[in-house]
Amino acid sequence: MQSPHGPLADEDLALLDKLAGKIVQRRMVMPATLFLQSVRPLNAIGSQAMVFLRPFLTPLFKQAAYDRVAAIMERREGIGALVDAIDAAEAAGASAKEAAGE
């Protein structure tokens, strides 16, 4: 199904890549992927929960980036794009470890 917003912008994809890198770095790939896949049908509700929690979480995150992620997660393709970014970051990390001989 085509999104009424069009495809995600390059800036959005870069933000998701950065978020995915942090998830991989913290070794939270499996829990994050499982959570995202389980809430995929409820993406609009989840993004509204992010808006509700914004006052509590913005001291930990930059406000503009947090708002942008909430807007991306509201879109139908947002969760899938984040899961794809996590998979790509995990694969890149695994190949980097393999190349380093770990």
- Write the pLDDT tens digit of every residue in 35-63: 889 888 888 788 888 888 888 877 778 88
- How many domains would you assign to the chain? 1
**Residues of the domain holding 70:** 10-95
Q: What is the pLDDT of residue 5?
A: 66
Higher pLDDT, 3 or 59: 59
Residue 1 reports pLDDT greater than 70: no
Residue 98 reports pLDDT greater than 80: no
CA pair distance 12, 77, nearest whole angstrom: 12
- 3-class secondary-structure state, position 4: coil
For residue 91, tell me if it sits in a domain: yes
The model's confidence at residue 3, banded by pLDDT at 50, 70 and 90, is low
Q: What is the pLDDT of residue 20?
A: 94
For residue 100, tell me if it sits in a domain: no
For residue 78, tell me if it sits in a domain: yes
Going from the C-alpha of 8 to that of each of 21, 25, 47, 98, the distances in angstroms are 18, 24, 16, 32
